[in-house]
Structure 1
Amino acid sequence: MASILQRAAITYLRNNARASTHSATAGGHGGGWQLWKKLSFFVGMPAVGLGMLNAYLAHADGHHEHPPFVAYEYLRVRTKRFPWGEGQKSLFHNPDVNALPGGYENDH
């Protein structure tokens, strides 16, 4: 009895697998690619353009202030010196944005 059910299940899976792969390769997806193509051009591209415009306008403003320095004891803990420079600055240190344990380097 189990072998009959197993054969029926295998036959069912084979037939459905063939049908699903055939529809995907023979263009039987109902034109969904056209929807995604239109969404990419008419939604995605303008969204990227608006993001670029927003970044440009924020940069062109030129008014960048860092937040006030508060010496919390759990932030900027240096248990070991960095192997470059004086050992206090991270590899991509920016003196206008990144604070050291004693405060910002360039206080405006």
Structure 2
Amino acid sequence: MAALGQFSQVVRSAFLTQTRQLSAVAHGEQGAKTWKILSFVVAIPGVAVCMLNAFLKSQQHGHDQPEFVPYPHLRIRTKRFPWGDGVKTLFHNSHVNPLPDGYEGHEE
């Protein structure tokens, strides 16, 4: 049993030594500088372009309520919610989320 423990220690130390050498080569001084440059030149402008795209799409897209279609398999309420009036979900948005009988404030 002691021989197995010694063998596992030898294998573990050889593996850790090799891992440390590879890590030092991959993430040396030059590697850190490269990742810093990539972060400022690629990542930050990429996030900015995505944010601009989302903003412009939200401005272009109308904010009208989608048409209410009373599908029988959606908005099934077998019991009341334990908050509020018991009909609205926890994160209810009256502009986007209809109740089982339609949007709030719209009598059709």
Q: TM-score scaled by structure 2?
A: 0.69
* Greater length-normalized contact order (CA 8 Å, ≥ 6 residues apart): 2
- Contact (CA 8 Å) 1:81, 1:87: kept in 2 or not? yes
> Residue 34 of structure 1 aligns with which residue?
33
Distance 2:85 2:8 in 1: 70
Structure 1: 5+ residue runs without aligned partners?
none
Letter in 2 for 1:84: W
Comparing 30-39 with 73-82, greater Cα deviation is found at 30-39
> Residue 55 of structure 2 aligns with which residue?
56
Comparing 46-55 with 12-21, greater Cα deviation is found at 12-21
> Residue 67 of structure 1 aligns with which residue?
66
> Residue 89 of structure 2 aligns with which residue?
90
> Residue 21 of structure 1 aligns with which residue?
20
Instruction: Give the superposition deviation at 1:34.
Output: 3.3
Instruction: Give the superposition deviation at 1:70.
Output: 1.2
> Residue 80 of structure 1 aligns with which residue?
79
Q: How many residues align?
A: 102
- Contact (CA 8 Å) 1:96, 1:106: kept in 2 or not? no
Distance 1:84 1:12 in 2: 59
RMSD of aligned alpha carbons: 2.8
How has the CA–CA distance of structure 1 residues 84 and 14 changed in structure 2, closer, same or farther, with 3 Å as cutoff?
closer
Distance 1:19 1:78 in 2: 60
Structure 2: 5+ residue runs without aligned partners?
none
Letter in 2 for 1:42: V
Q: What is the identity percentage for the equivalent residue pairs of Structure 1 and Structure 2?
A: 43
Deviation beyond 3 Å, 4+ runs, structure 1: 6-13, 30-35, 58-62
